[in-house]
Structures are given as structure tokens and as C-alpha cells.
Amino acid sequence: METINIYGASNGKHLKVKEQSFKSNLVNLKWDIFLNDDAKENKFLLEDQTKISTNPRMVYYKNNKEYIFRKDIFNRTCKISLDGNIHATINVEKKVPVSLKTVAKTDDLTIIELLGIYYVISLVY
């Protein structure tokens, strides 16, 4: 099991990503996402639903919503959608050194969540 700690300096946010057990990962890879505020800790689920490795697709379950992360390897973008509407995008501006541009159109997803989940997708694919 692998644990990734991502610290955010804005608004006292802390993100921790932990891979689930081997038994639950036999069919689909799954991660627990722990988002800590100053007041409380929230736990969400990230599940890999990729069918073709050149078209990675992850589903992030947060507050009874299913955010779909789709990474397009060829044009270096990741689109985050909910119910068919794009709520955020992540673009890779440069490969070396890595430069990312993030545009969020919703307040439900924080920048630290977007970048943390994108980091997990980049590690896997």
C-alpha cells in the first residue's frame, strides 16, 4: 500500500492519498482521498475505470457526486466533468520543468484536490 502526502499552503488544506488494500484493488484500482481542513477531515473515494491505457479515466466520488477525470495523453490535458459538463481542466504547459495550468469552474473542487488526483493519474499512466 502506498500513501502520498500533499500539503497545500492555501487555506490550511492538507490532502492525503492512500491506496486501498490488495483485495479491493483486484478488479479496479482504488484510493482513499483524505482532505483535511482546520476543522475536520473528509474521506472521499477515487476509482480507476480505465478500459484502454491510452485513455485514462478516473471517477472521484465526493459529496454524492461523481467527477470524471479524463486524461488525454496526446494533447496533454485532463478534463474534469460532472454530468457531461466540464467543471475544470488541467493543461501541461511544459514537460521539463513541469508547468501546469489549472482552471476550475466550481467551488466544490479545490486546487489541491485537482492537482493531487492529477498526480495519482500521472503516476499510474
Q: What is the pLDDT of residue 73?
A: 85
Say what the pTM is. Answer: 0.87
The whole-number mean pLDDT for each consecutive block of 10 residues of the chain, a chain of 125 residues, reads 66 84 85 87 94 92 96 92 95 88 91 90 88
Domain coordinates in residue numbering, the chain: 3-124
Distance of CA 57 to the CA centre of its chain: 10
Residue 42's Cβ-count burial label (10 Å; 0-12, 13-18, 19+) is exposed
Q: What is the pLDDT of residue 9?
A: 54
Q: What is the pLDDT of residue 87?
A: 95
Distance CA 67, CA 64 (A): 10
